[in-house]
């Protein structure tokens, strides 16, 4: 009985997050009363999960990064070489940001103090994972061995996110294919990739 209530509560929380994601993506704002109405729950129920609107925003940004990590960092890409797999990862990186409904919102709120701390933690984790990946490429002889993996990972993650944010804001007019190709060229040049 207790487990059933916990499972039901988790399903409700996920459903509320899905509706909140849709609200932000389509309306550009989150109204908790409207969220409750769309979900068919009491007006107070959303506050049970996240007591303030700021906490809802942080939760939505967190779920955005969960999806990003699942599709980019946790995914296993096929390819005979490290470079081929990383090309596929770069394509997934760009595709995620350009197709994810919350990407423009996350880009816009990244300077909000209540959101920025959580984003910094997530990006720091992503940089650690990317640095580990760069070291793997170095061991395989495909990435320049003289590069500092942490520095390279920091430049890659930060640069890719900023380039994609500019594209999302309309500051760089490029098709997804062209943007992906340009980002990949930067990756190749930064890491001084050598195909085995």
pLDDT in tens, 71-130: 999 999 999 999 999 999 999 999 999 999 998 888 877 767 777 777 888 889 999 999
Q: What is the pLDDT of residue 165?
A: 85
DSSP for 90-136 reads: HHHHHHHHHH-TTHHHHHHHTT-HHHHHHHHHHHHHHHHHHHHHHHH
Contact 50, 59 (CB under 8 A): yes
CA trace torsion 192, 73, 21, 36 (10° rounding)? -160
pTM (2 decimals)? 0.85
What element of type H or E holds 148?
Answer: none
Average pLDDT of the residues of the chain: 89
More confident residue, 29 or 74: 74
Taking CA atoms, 32 is separated from 12, 39, 48, 164, 170, in Å, by: 14, 10, 12, 30, 29
pLDDT at 4 over 70: yes
**Sequence ranges of the chain with CATH classification 1.10.357.10:** 53-191
pLDDT at 52 over 80: yes
pLDDT band at 196 (very low <50, low <70, confident <90, very high): low
Whether domain 1-49 has CATH 1.10.10: the reply is yes
Q: What is the pLDDT of residue 54?
A: 84
pLDDT band at 182 (very low <50, low <70, confident <90, very high): very high
pLDDT at 134 over 70: yes
Residue 75 DSSP label: -
CA dist 108 and 34 (Å) reads 22
Q: What is the pLDDT of residue 151?
A: 97
Q: What is the pLDDT of residue 58?
A: 87
**Sequence ranges of the chain with CATH classification 1.10.10:** 1-49
Give 157-166's long-range contacts (Cβ < 8 A, gap of 24+). Answer: 157/123, 157/126, 157/127, 157/130, 158/123, 159/186, 160/90, 160/93, 160/94, 160/186, 161/97, 161/123, 164/93, 164/94, 164/97, 164/98, 164/103, 165/97, 165/107, 165/110
Architecture of the domain made up of 53-191: Orthogonal Bundle (1.10)
Taking CA atoms, 52 is separated from 24, 31, 151, in Å, by: 16, 11, 37
């Amino acid at each position: 009985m207790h487990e059933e209530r916990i499972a039901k509560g988790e399903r409700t929380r996920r459903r509320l997050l899905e509706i909140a994601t849709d609200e932000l993506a389509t309306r550009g704002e989150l109204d908790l009363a409207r969220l409750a109405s769309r979900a068919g729950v009491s007006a107070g129920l959303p506050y049970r999960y996240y007591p303030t609107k700021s906490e809802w925003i942080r939760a939505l940004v967190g779920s955005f990064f969960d999806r990003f990590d699942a599709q980019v960092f946790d995914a296993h890409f096929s390819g005979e070489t490290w470079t081929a797999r990383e090309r596929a990862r770069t394509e997934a990186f760009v595709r995620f940001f350009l197709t994810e409904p919350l990407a423009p919102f996350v880009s816009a709120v990244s300077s909000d103090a209540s959101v920025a701390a959580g984003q910094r933690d997530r990006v720091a984790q992503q940089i650690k994972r990317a640095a580990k990946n760069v070291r793997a490429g170095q061991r395989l002889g495909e990435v320049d061995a003289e590069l500092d993996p942490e520095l390279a990972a920091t430049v890659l993650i930060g640069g890719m996110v900023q380039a994609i944010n500019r594209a999302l804001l309309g500051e760089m007019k490029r098709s997804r294919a062209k943007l992906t190709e340009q980002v990949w060229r930067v990756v190749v040049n930064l890491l001084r990739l050598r195909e085995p």
